[in-house]
Amino acid sequence: MKNTIRKAIIPAAGFGTRFLPAAKSQPKEMLPIVDTPTIQYVVEEAVAAGIRDILMVIGKSKRAIEEHFDRNFELEKELEEKGKVGDLAAIRHISSMANIHFVWQKELRGLGDAILCGRDHMGREPFAVLLGDTLIDAKTPVTKQLLAGYERYHESVCALEEVPREKVSRYGVIKGTRMQDGLYLVEDFVEKPSVAEAPSNLAIAGRYVFTPEIFDYIEKTTPGKNGEIQITDAMRLMVRDRAMYGLRFEGTRYDIGNKLDFLRTNIIYALKRKDLAKDLHAFLRQLVAEHK
């Protein structure tokens, strides 16, 4: 049966070693962009694509994620008594926008293994995957774009970001054939190629739609670097047997687990905010002038 997509997995169990010491006792997915935790934007992206059933994969030191999506009656009462209607609505929205479930990845054995933790919950349905530490700023939410891509062929689709050629060796890129509407038929995935050998500059970007067969391929995937089961390796196996597509999206990707990206994202998102833009802009101009 060719189901539409109702469910998503958000992997958020990783150690976040690139964001220490902050990630030692708190999830990097809870790091705020302006005043909102990264993972809340990620959930909002899934909800904007019509997904209401979300499974978060978490691990040790990730309790704050559970609490953030739970109701906080004391806080609600306090806001109600003070007449802070806007804040109250915003707080209630966090826990009511989706049905959020949790599963624990008991050993951190990589992103492929984290996705495999969602097997029972996803059943035989196709599903979306959104990395909990990655934001994609786009006019049309990227998960919504991927769902439209899935509806066309009913096969797995991954988001592709166009990256500068000279930086291609930092990413996993595709070898593929261009179809239509930004879709590519993927022939292979190449991890961190040299500039000369790169088959494209289209990098896999932290958002996916998978048919349930991906779980069989993750199970067959042998652990790679650091004993981790990489989702890209499972995708390489799957693409040998069945069609898989990539979708080049319009938008910008931010990896919050990387310190420089985290700082940049905060500034970019703050400059979009009516309550902050003017003062922040003035401050940045002054700072640049002082450092010339």
Of 13, 43, 135, 235, which one interacts with ligand UTP (CB under 6 A)? Answer: 13
Contact pattern for ligand UTP over residues 51 through 80, marking x by CB under 6 A: ------x-----------------------
Q: How far is CA 121 from the centre of its chain?
A: 19
| Tokens encoding 186 | 């993927």
State how far the Cα of 212 lies from the Cα of 126, in Å rounded to an integer.
5
Q: Would you give the binding string for ligand UTP spanning residues 112-151, x where CB under 6 A is met?
A: -xx----------------xxx------------------
Determine if 40 is a binding residue for ligand UTP (CB under 6 A): no
Q: Which pair of tokens denotes residue 238?
A: 């799957």
The gap from C-alpha 176 to its chain's centroid, in whole angstroms, comes to 23
Nearest CB to ligand UTP, comparing residues 155 and 161: 161
Task: Residue 158: name the closest of 198, 193, 132, 130 by CA.
Answer: 130
Q: Write down the least CB distance from residue 17 to ligand UTP, Å.
A: 3
8-state DSSP, 133: T
Binds ligand UTP by CB under 6 A, chosen from 109, 121, 152, 175:
109
Q: Which stretch binds ligand UTP (CB under 6 A): 12-20, 96-104, 148-156, 246-254?
A: 12-20
The correct pick among 110, 141, 149, 172 for binding ligand UTP (CB under 6 A) is 110
Beta bridge partner(s), residue 37:
32
Residues facing residue 188 across a β-bridge: 175
Candidate ranges 103-111, 188-196, 216-224, 270-278; the one touching ligand UTP (CB under 6 A): 103-111
Number of H helices, E strands in the chain: 11, 13
